[in-house]
Amino acid sequence: MVEVFTGSFTQQEPIPDEGIAAALAVLRHGRLHRYNLAPGEAGEVALLEEEFAALTGARYCLAVASGGYAMATALRAVGIGPGDRVLSNAFTLAPVPGAIASVGAVPVFVGVTRDLTIDLDDLAAKAGAARVLLLSHMRGHICDMDRLMAICDGAGVTVIEDCAHTMGASWRGVPSGRHGLIGCYSTQTYKHVNSGEGGFLVTDDAEVAARAVLLSGSYMLYDRHRAAPPPEAFEGLRLDVPNISGRMDNLRAAILRPQLARLPEQCDRWNARYRAVETGLRGTPGLTVIERPEAEGFVGSSIQFLLEDWGPEAVAEVVARCKARGVELKWFGAEAPQGYTSAYRHWRYAAPAPLPETDRVLAGLLDMRLPLTFSLEDCALIARIVRAEAGAVWQGRAAAE
Ligand SMILES: *Cc1c(COP(=O)(O)O)cnc(C)c1O
């Protein structure tokens, strides 16, 4: 009997009951706007910011409308504007170069290694080309952050971290997003907490935090924040920083607060699923599992593997055969962008320079989401299917040679 997987790769878990109850309370009182508060009320957004600051150990936190907005705001807050060049990962998703383009700046792409992290030699070579790096911890792979910070500090490059896939992760025990000047996170449905849309920005820098709060659309109500610097920090800025609305609302914050409280437990559940798939894939001929460094505390909400140098026809065949058995693999080497998946060479507005080694890695790179609605048995089944189909294509190639 041929096994088929019938689960959905895009189905997340429901919002916890506590979140639903808190959301209903907000709907009943009707004060959805973050600054619409009853006397003595802190508001769900301000409380959420305080809780996220505590979770990451950051001095300041701002909740915003999306992860993309958090990144654009971070860039603006450090003074990036039209014509400036910003270093970023060639291996990431479209909102990252999009955030750079949204402020009129120009991405300079840095290559990816076969560990799926930023190529630090390429970064060192390009560090003089820009004063900011928007570092994407794409698919949760964290590079050697000690070396990255040494390179950037040495070259005077400010680091902004895109932690869309690393909320709850760490490097040598330091939470992801806390190495650079600013950490940005997403609370969009496919990330580690789910409010449909949303994001955070964290920093220890009072001026950056004050600028970000003003940028996000605080009018003169910044004293209603609980995880922002004191009013004095806004005095010299409030008439100079434009209001570019992108606030979070109390409804989303109400949904998120109970999810943040159980994030560590959810991360453990993701990692159990990740290890189940990884174990099932290990040893498949021609298939490279990505080894995770000891220092990396990752969150396995997705898994990647390489079919290195298999050639586009063979990889496309593996994707098609897995799909026929219900396993959805995303391929970063496809000719055309598809769904959420695209590669740096597709971002024509950024006029990307070719990166041959990156192209070689992406040509064999397959990716799979692991939503928490999958059981451990589902994960073992998924791995069996990939193993069987990749194995069949591999043997077919060997026989043809
Ligand atoms: C989802 C995502 C973001 C931010 O996304 P929003 O949809 O704007 O919240 C940023 N970077 C990466 C790599 C992402 O996948």
Query: Does the beta carbon of 64 sit less than 6 angstroms from any atom of ligand 1?
Result: no
Q: What is the DSSP string of 119-184?
A: -HHHHHHHGGG-SEEEEE-GGG----HHHHHHHHHHHT-EEEEE-TTTTT-EETTEETTSSSSEEE
Q: What is the pLDDT, as a whole number, of residue 401?
A: 74
Classify residue 219 by burial, with Cβ atoms within 10 Å: 0-12, 13-18, 19+.
exposed
Compute the distance from residue 302 Cα to the ligand 1 centre, in Å. Answer: 14
CB 266 within 8 A of CB 167: no
Quick check: pTM over 0.85? yes
Each of the 401 residues of the chain gets a pLDDT tens digit; together they read 799 999 999 999 999 999 999 999 999 999 999 999 999 999 999 999 999 999 999 999 999 999 999 999 999 999 999 999 999 999 999 999 999 999 999 999 999 999 999 999 999 999 999 999 999 999 999 999 999 999 999 999 999 999 999 999 999 999 999 999 999 999 999 999 999 999 999 999 999 999 999 999 999 999 999 999 999 999 999 999 999 999 999 999 999 999 999 999 999 999 999 999 999 999 999 999 999 999 999 999 999 999 999 999 999 999 999 999 999 999 999 999 999 999 999 999 999 999 999 999 999 999 999 999 999 999 999 999 999 999 999 998 888 87
Handedness of CA 295, 58, 216, 156 (dihedral sign): negative
> Atom 5 of ligand 1 has which residue's CA nearest to it?
67
Query: Does the beta carbon of 67 sit less than 6 angstroms from any atom of ligand 1?
Result: yes
Rounded Cα distance between 224 and 183, Å, is 22
Compute the distance from residue 243 Cα to the ligand 1 centre, in Å. Answer: 22
CA-based R_g, the chain, Å: 22
Task: Using the structure block, give the residue that is written with the tokens 């009129």.
Answer: 104
> Atom 14 of ligand 1 has which residue's CA nearest to it?
164
**Among 66, 71, 86, residue whose Cα is nearest residue 183:** 71
Q: Which strands form 174-175's sheet, in the order they lie side by side? A: 174-175, 170-171, 296-297
Q: Which 3-state string (H, E, C) describes 322-368?
A: HHHCCCCCEECCCCCCECCECCHHHCHHHCCCCCHHHHHHHHCEEEE
Stated as kind and residue range, the H or E segment containing 387 is helix 376-400
- Start-to-end Cα distance in the chain: 30
User: What is the DSSP-derived secondary structure letter of residue 106?
Assistant: E
Ligand 1 atom nearest 92 alpha carbon: 13
Ligand 1 atom nearest 139 alpha carbon: 13
